[in-house]
Structure formats: structure tokens, C-alpha cells
Amino acid sequence: MTVALYTHRACLDHDPGSGHPESPLRLAAVLEALGADRFALLDRIEAPRATREQLARVHRQSLIAEILDAQGDPFRRLDPDTVVSPGSAEAALRAAGAVCAAVDGVVYGRQRRAFCAVRPPGHHATTQTAMGFCLFNNVAVGAAHAIAAHGLQRVAIVDFDVHHGNGTQDIFWTDPQVLYASTHQWPLYPHTGAKRETGAGNVFNVPLDPGADSAAFRAAYEDTLLPAIDRFAPELILVSAGFDAHRLDPLANLRLDETDFRWITERLVDLAERHAGGRLVSSLEGGYSLSALRLSSAAHVAALMD
């Protein structure tokens, strides 16, 4: 079975404005990297739109309407960092829809694993609030879809973005069917993700000090997070694949490189093979150095293909 790449050109049309770090150039850099010859065997699939029913499993109708139905000024600032432009609604629907379609693909056995090259990112979006560059929580929508549409009982979400996925944690805080595991820099936006934040025993946070390197990152997974996922025995692994923990990233201070992203991807593939029939879906989150994005996304997808 192949590895699939889900994306849509509409995801390039979300425009937060000149100088904003979450620019369309991010996705263009990822797609450029994944256009290399070594990725010729990827099954390239156009992402569908998420349905309102899929979105409403994790988001309130007020947020869905704010993103999809609002009239007036086509450029709206939802918070100091988060903007809606004329192309944002379609981009957000395709981003969330990509993860749901990828879940369908791996559950039905059409693909073994999948990477969703989409934007806007999602892991900061809560049940009722768009924030931190994120409109809908793409991975959370996908996890809820796996449970509601496919009857899965145990879904693990692994988030190695340098910023804590407060939205994902918030959405599944009391849901024992979803395990949330995160490494992230601490302190840093959004100032959540302390070790003591454990939800219903389904949340595992390992904060990393500014300047933490490969050794600290790998130890967090080997000592805490990978054993927790192994005990949970997920039927599906979802990955919030942020590459802003790379040493080149301008918005944070961790010291990883692309080999670390390949390493953690390999470990997660191993767990997916052990417990989930190989089923793993990853979705792009942060990463604001274009060169680091090219290197890291290529390393991540190469490990999915191996």
C-alpha cells in the first residue's frame, strides 16, 4: 500500500497579510520539497472540503459561522495573530477535510499512511476560539471523525510542534478515547502544557527548556511519551507535525534538526505497525523557516514512506 499526500491549492489562498510568519510561502516550500524525484511514489490526492457535521464534532456553531459565514470586511483580525482573508474559509475547509479524507483512506486500507500538506494550521484552535494562526483544529476534527464515522475506540495524537497544542488538549481534555502527547518549548506561547496538565489521565505533556537539543527531545519520547502511547495501544495515530522546533526557526529556541523529525516519525511508524495496522495520518502545523520546512518535511515524509 502507498503513502498518500493530501493537499489542495486553495490552502495557498489563505492570506494573513504581508510580513505574517504563517504565509503561503510555507506550504509552497513543503510542496516544493515533496516534488523531488524520491517522492514520485506518493499517492497525490486533492483534499475535499470538510463538512459542517465533521467540524461540529469539535467546534461550536458560533466558531464555524465566524469562519465560514461572516460578512463585511474581507480581512478580519480575530486576535492579534489570527486573520481571516477572502481565501481563508475555503483553505480552512480543505485543511480539515484533508485530515478526514486521510483518516478514511488509512482506515479503508487505500493507503497505509498519509501526510496532509495544508494550511492554516490547527492545533491552537479550541472548541469555540480561533487563535494562534489556527482557524479549525484539523487534527482534532480528524480524530473525532475516526471515532464517529469509523467506530475507533483509541486514537493517539502526537504533537511535536514547538508550541503546545492547547486547542487539541482542550477539546479532548476529558475524553478517554483520545490520548494527547506533546513536546513543546516552555515557556512559550500559548503558555499551556505544564506537566501537571493531565486531563482525564489521557494527556501527557513534556515541556522542554529553551535551548533544548536532540538529546532532550529524544529522551522525552523514549522515557515518557512513547511508553504512554504503547500502553494506550492506539488503533490510529495522528500527528500534529510542526517543524518549528528546528534550530533555524525564528519564532522559538529549541535546537532540533531534520534528523530528529525523521527519528520521531520512525518511532511513531513502529507504534502504528504494532498497534494500528500501520495506520498513521500526519498534518502540517507550524514551521516558519522555509529552509527548515523543506528539510524537515522531506525527512518526515521519507520516514513515512520507509
**Cell triple for residue 79?**
486576535
Strand partners, 159: 182, 240
pLDDT band at residue 73 using 50, 70 and 90 as cut-offs: low
Mind listing the pLDDT tens digit for each residue in 111-133? 999 999 999 999 999 999 999 99
Q: Distance (Å, rounded) from C-alpha 189 to C-alpha 195?
A: 16
Q: Regarding beta strands 280-284 and 111-116, do their DSSP bridges make them parallel or antiparallel, or are they unpaired? A: parallel
Instruction: Label residue 75 by pLDDT band (50, 70, 90).
Output: confident
Average pLDDT value over all residues in the chain: 97
pLDDT above 70 (res 1): no
Mean pLDDT of the region 174-202? 98
| pLDDT band per the 50, 70, 90 thresholds, residue 232 | very high
Q: Span 19-47, mean pLDDT?
A: 98
Does the pLDDT value for residue 71 go beyond 80?
no
| Catalytic annotation, residues | 124
- Provide the pLDDT for residue 72: 61
Q: What angle separates helix 290-305 from helix 24-33, to the nearest 10 degrees?
A: 40
- Concatenating the DSSP letter of every residue in 4-59 gives EEEE-GGGG-----TT-SS-HHHHHHHHHHTTSGGGTTSEEEEPPPPPHHHHHTTS
- Could you tell me the pTM of the whole model? 0.98
pLDDT tens per residue, range 272-291:
999 999 999 999 999 999 99
86: domain CATH number is 3.40.800.20
* Number of domain units in the chain: 1
Domain containing residue 150? 2-305
- Residue 74 confidence (pLDDT): 78
Q: Give residue 181's Cα distance to chain centre.
A: 12
Bridge partners, residue 76, by sequence: 84
